[in-house]
Amino acid sequence: IALSRSKNFPKLQTIDLTDNDLTQKGFDALAEMKIFNLIRARLSEDGTKLDLSNLRLGDVESKCIAECEDLKDLTHLYLELNSITDVGIGLITASEYMSNLISLSLDRNKIGDAGFIHIVHSENLKNLQVLMVENNGITDEGIEAICESENLSNLLRLYIEENNYTEEGFELLGEAEHLMTLEYPEFDREEEIEEEEEEEEEFDDVEDIEEIEEEEDLGETEYESQ
């Protein structure tokens, strides 16, 4: 554990621990060492972007990400192609160091509905504009959660393909008022509005015609009575 928390080996890539009586606690500590070194190596110079995609990261590493003070200025976090579950993303979304995030990529993890709901309800992710959660086992339950909560009202792009929701569930996204600013996915909102306007115009035209016909009938009646 002491070795794992040392900052003296920032470039360490391989370590041989053959014939050591490591417990799970020790293995977790080594995983923490790995992720902290990766964070230091991959964090952009200005501290705003971090790409940890396709590294087989799990919930232990997620805990380290959540607790890393170096990420306090982070705006873009890429975690796609890992093994993060709802537990791990719950830790990340609860971290105060995530409060500046505007883009979060979690494609092809294992967060499920529970993890997606953590994101939806996180007070630290209110500035989020881009969210990528493709192929994460999200169902209509997750869709309903984001449609009911206004927490992510700044969201502009939501990549949610290859999940387990129904077509009816997906359509709910296009009906949520606080998600009307979504640029992606695209919904046929303008066409629907135009159709409604055309129907209203047609209805107004029918009313005008009926009024004219009534006036003509009234005029004929008055003429006949004279």
Q: What is the pLDDT of residues 44-63, one digit of tens each?
A: 999 999 999 999 999 999 99
**pLDDT more than 90, % of the chain:** 66
Distances (CA, A) of 23 to 18, 30, 36, 127: 13, 11, 20, 40
Considering only residues 31 and 72, tell me which one the structure prediction assigns the higher pLDDT: 72
pLDDT of residue 20: 79
The mean pLDDT of 15-34, rounded to a whole number, is 78
Q: What residues are paired with 149 via a beta bridge?
A: none
Q: Which two tokens stand for residue 201?
A: 């115009």
Secondary-structure percent of the chain, ordered helix, strand, coil, rounded to 5 = 50, 10, 45
Span of 13-22, 74-83, 150-159, 208-217 with lowest mean pLDDT? 208-217
pLDDT of residue 208: 61
pTM: predicted TM-score of the whole model, two decimal places:
0.77
Residue 37: CB atoms within 10 A of its CB come to 17
Given pLDDT bands bounded at 50, 70 and 90, which one contains residue 15?
confident
d(CA 99, CA 93): 9
Helix or strand run (H / E) with residue 78: strand 76-78
Q: What is the mean pLDDT of the chain?
A: 86
- In this predicted structure, the answer to whether residue 4 has a pLDDT above a threshold of 80 is no
pLDDT of residue 190: 56
Considering only residues 151 and 13, tell me which one the structure prediction assigns the higher pLDDT: 151
Q: Which two tokens stand for residue 42?
A: 């991959």
Q: Which two tokens stand for residue 87?
A: 């537990």
DSSP state, residue 125: G
CB 67 within 8 A of CB 35: no
CB 74 within 8 A of CB 50: yes
d(CA 115, CA 98): 16
Q: What is the pLDDT of residues 147-196, one digit of tens each?
A: 999 999 999 999 999 999 999 999 999 999 999 999 999 988 655 445 55
Q: Tell me the residue ranges of DSSP E strands in 83-200.
A: 103-105, 130-132, 157-159
- What domains are there in the chain, each with its CATH number? 1-42 (no CATH), 47-175 (3.80.10.10)
Q: Which two tokens stand for residue 62?
A: 């997620």
- In this predicted structure, the answer to whether residue 19 has a pLDDT above a threshold of 60 is yes
Given strand 130-132, what is the order of strands in its sheet? 49-51, 76-78, 103-105, 130-132, 157-159
